[in-house]
Amino acid sequence: MIPRSTWLGIASRFGFYDDGAVRIGRCAPRRRPSRRQAYDPAVSTSSAAPLPVHRAAIANLGCKVNQAEMDGLERLLRGAGVQLVDLREEADLVVINTCTVTSRADAKSRQLVRRARRTSPNARVMVTGCAVAVEPELLAAADPAARLYDNDQKSRLLAETTELLGLPDGVARPTFSGVEAAPGLAGVAVTEAAGDRTRAFVKVQDGCSFHCTYCIIPRARGPERSLAAREVVDDVRRALSSGHREIVLTGINVGTYSDSGVTLPELVGRLLTETDVERIRLSSVEPQHVTGQLLAVWTASGGRCLPHFHIPLQSGDDTILRRMGRRYDTAAYYQVVARVREAIPGAAVHTDLIAGFPGEDDAAWARTVDFVGSLDLAGIHVFRYSSRPGTPAARMVGQVDAATKKRRAAEALALAAQARARFAETRAGGEMRVLFEGSLADGRWLGHAESHVLVAADSPDGAPLHNVIGLVRAESVDPAAPDRLCGRLLAVDPPRAGSAPKADLAHETLA
């Protein structure tokens, strides 16, 4: 039998105290409604016949996986002649993809559902995503007439949307990988009116079993599972045939990708050999998944795998990392970044940082600031810790007060701005290939270089540069934005075979 003192030591290390009681490892059980109560259309929807769909609104919260899942639906609606409008405008159909990563995200999800019903009282409202998976009863209360679909039921959402649109069999249907799939037909091109993005987010994996103490996503998304490699290859081919020139592979924990022995590095290798993909990025990859094999694929790709990695850190203090349940310490993280830069000189490394996690005192925060400064990062995504009911961190001792969290987050945002500006400055004077995405108010075109740094340049002949990859000499830092470069377009890269350029689209204005 393990002595009580040992259990107390473990509990103290991870902070699992709640009003003097010791709770190890698991969240307290919560009573949840049955699936029929939460999801059966007879219970959760109105019996009124839906209106014809002429106008639709999509609201998308949360991560790039959610974005990938909604991209295909958006293109399906555009292709069917449905006008896409803002959620603040009246619509016949509203689809809300929710997030539950924080209690604030939950509240915003419910707020959007209520707003949708106020704005469009007669609309068919479809609500899906992680908040539905975790707390469907709260969303049902926000709008009893809404149709609810948890993450396992998104295929039903797609089927019902297709029926609402009255589309015949054989018309290209979306998948939740982010690109279209036609029944029995691989490589079908999307209609030109359907696409308005230069890059495609292709979902290759879902779910997570890491159980970080601040995170509800394993409960919302379930354990890791991966799309078949052949499906990913087909999805990428479809994205390229529709004109996308960059592919972002995304998932909840993309580094855990595994399909019958095919790992993430091997999947990327297949995409390089079996498709004409021009540019590949990863949306995010955990430090322990940045392996020598992955870096070898990157270096052997001839520049098609881009020198940009988003590697979450979350904290620069080892005690806080242990309390978070992260699977590395600062020394290991530092070595990962060093290996990336040794394999790919000049690679841009971005990270995530949580400010104000329970137990983070002034000394721990100071160590985080010092460690982040030692990494010479190209960008930092900053999150102020928000207690998420149902997670171990919500019950930990040492909760940080709101004012301190706000102050630390502001300090981290200042570090992030400095990192972006410093990285941009180091790239001035060099040449880079930029995928142009839209135009600024002054007429210049703006896009991301391989390293993800923003670059603005004029079109020499005034022709639109949307979805054009151009060789640009970065001449200076943009005085209007210290994290952006001003460049001169030297040449344009023709699309690789199978990656036909999209039709010219209206100029976009980027903030």
Secondary structure string (H, E, C) spanning 141-158: HHCCCCEEECHHHHHHHH
Torsion angle of C-alpha atoms 265, 271, 274, 277, degrees rounded to 10? -150
Helices marked H in 166-278 — which ranges? 217-221, 229-241, 264-274
CATH architecture assigned to 197-306: 2-Layer Sandwich (3.30)
Query: Crossing angle for the helix pair 292-299 and 330-343, nearest 10 degrees?
Result: 20
pLDDT at res. 160: 83
| pLDDT under 70: residue ranges of the chain | 1-51, 64, 168-197, 497-511
Q: What span, in angstroms and rounded, lies between the C-alpha atoms of 473 and 486?
A: 9
In CATH, the number for domain 47-165 is 3.40.50.12160
Per DSSP, what are the bridge partners of residue 448?
435, 454
* Integer CA distances (angstroms), 253 to 13, 68, 250, 454, in order: 26, 14, 8, 26
CATH superfamily of 431-493: Nucleic acid-binding proteins (2.40.50.140)
Angle at 287 between CA 286 and CA 293, to 5 degrees: 95
The greatest distance separating any two alpha carbons of the chain, rounded to the nearest whole angstrom, comes to 79
Tokens of 509: 């204005």
Residue 425: count of CB within 10 angstroms of its CB: 14
Is the Cβ–Cβ distance between 309 and 294 less than 8 Å? no
Q: Give the pTM.
A: 0.75
Task: Find, among 391, 402, 409, 255, the residue nearest to 323 by Cα.
Answer: 391
pLDDT reported for residue 171 = 58
CATH number for the domain running over 308-427: 3.30.750.200
pLDDT the model gives residue 77: 84
Question: From CA 272, how far away is CA 276, in angstroms rounded?
Answer: 7
How far apart (Å, rounded) are the C-alpha atoms in residues 341 and 358?
A: 32
Q: Are residues 99 and 61 in contact, defined by beta-carbon separation less than 8 angstroms?
A: yes
Work out the angle at residue 399's Cα, subtended by the Cα atoms of residues 398 and 401, and round it to the nearest 5 degrees.
125
Helix-helix angle 154-165:64-79, to 10 degrees: 20
C-alpha separations of 270 from 68, 147, 200, 277, 494 in Å: 21, 39, 18, 11, 23
CB burial of 430-463 (b: ≥16 within 10 Å; e: otherwise) equals eebbbbbbbbbeeebbbbbbbbbbbbbbebeeee
**Nearest by Cα to 353 from 334, 379, 374:** 379
Task: Tally the C-alpha atoms within 13 A of residue 256's C-alpha that lie toward its C-beta.
Answer: 13
In angstroms, the CA 406 to CA 51 distance is: 46
Which residue's entry shows tokens 């940082």? 353
Q: What are the C-alpha distances in Å from 470 to residues 16, 436, 438, 458? A: 53, 8, 13, 11
Region label for 54, one of left (φ > 0), alpha (ψ between -120 and 50) or beta (otherwise): alpha
Closest C-alpha among 125, 136, 156, 163 to residue 37: 136
Tokens of 33: 């409604």
Taking the domains of the chain in order of start, what are their residue ranges? 47-165, 197-306, 308-427, 431-493
Retrieve residue 420's tokens.
């972006």
Query: Can 197-306 and 308-427 be said to share one CATH topology?
Result: yes
